[in-house]
Structure 1
């Protein structure tokens, strides 16, 4: 797993790309520092996601793959 920071809020996670479609993410100390999750918690009218995802972190991971900072195993 490789350390990666979200470009929006700087939250650091461990990431591993097993394929282009599959990504493993391990939150360091939980998702408490994630700005997107904090916004969701502050909006009581929204139901929480079954599997919480942060679109900004996902974009940061995809950018890291495009820029060669995060490797994806060959199929």
Structure 2
């Protein structure tokens, strides 16, 4: 996984890209408390909103992919810890 810092809020996450449709994002801190976009959406909806992603973070990741700083990762098989 690659360390990525959001261009909007500077929050750091880990990112791995497996295909055009599959990007894995690992938040290193609680997303609700470190992401202003998550916090704003929750405030606007009285805390009831479910936010599937931060669009500003996704834009940052997309920019890094286009510039070649994040490439496609190959999964290792068999998956460690999995019994066949």
Q: Which category of TM-score, normalised to the shorter sequence, fits these structures?
A: 0.7 to 0.9
1:64 matched to which residue of 2? Answer: 64
2:81 matched to which residue of 1? Answer: none
Runs of 5+ consecutive residues of structure 1 not aligned to the other structure: none
User: What is the TM-score of this pair, normalised by structure 2?
Assistant: 0.76
User: What is the TM-score of this pair, normalised by structure 1?
Assistant: 0.84
Runs of 5+ consecutive residues of structure 2 not aligned to the other structure: 75-84
Count of residues in correspondence between the two structures? 73
Highest CA radius of gyration, 1 or 2? 2
Deviation (angstroms), 1:52: 2.1
Compared with structure 1, are the counterparts of its residues 73 and 29 closer, same or farther at alpha carbon in structure 2 (3 Å cutoff)?
Answer: closer
Higher relative contact order (CA 8 A, sep 6+): 1
CA RMSD of aligned residues (A): 1.9
Large movers: runs of 4+ above 6 Å: none
